[in-house]
């Protein structure tokens, strides 16, 4: 029985790439020496939610939260992770705000 190699990157690698990419969607910003936007505090990243793609700055620690993991899975299924538009969460803003208020 042969072992099939997956072309998928490990989730930790994908998440690191997302965090680096997903804070400049349609905005003119200044960047620090690490190439990250100055308006995103260390330990946070930007996501885009809803039809209007409202930008939210959230803590990286939320990536480990089970409810946020479900949103990440939905985002991967709907949009994939290999695009330049930043991490887009496929839910409406009210639901996202409700969920994140419970995670604080």
User: Cα separation of 41 and 22, whole Å?
Assistant: 13
pTM: predicted TM-score of the whole model, two decimal places:
0.64
Q: What is the pLDDT of residue 95?
A: 93
Find how far residue 35's CA is from the centre of its chain. 17
Mind listing the pLDDT tens digit for each residue in 35-64? 556 678 888 888 999 989 899 999 999 989
Residue whose entry in the numeric block shows the structure tokens 């990419």: 21
Distance CA(37)–CA(43), nearest Å, equals 12
pLDDT of residue 24: 42
């Amino acid at each position: 029985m042969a072992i099939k190699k997956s072309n998928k990157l490990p989730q930790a690698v994908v998440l690191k790439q997302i965090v680096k990419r997903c804070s400049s969607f349609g905005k003119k910003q200044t960047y620090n020496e690490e190439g990250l936007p100055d308006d995103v505090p260390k330990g946070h990243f930007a996501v885009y939610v809803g039809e209007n793609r409202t930008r939210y700055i959230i803590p990286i620690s939320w990536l480990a939260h089970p409810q946020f993991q479900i949103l990440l899975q939905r985002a991967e299924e709907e949009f994939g992770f290999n695009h330049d538009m930043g991490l887009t969460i496929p839910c409406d803003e009210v639901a996202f705000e409700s969920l994140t208020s419970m995670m604080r």
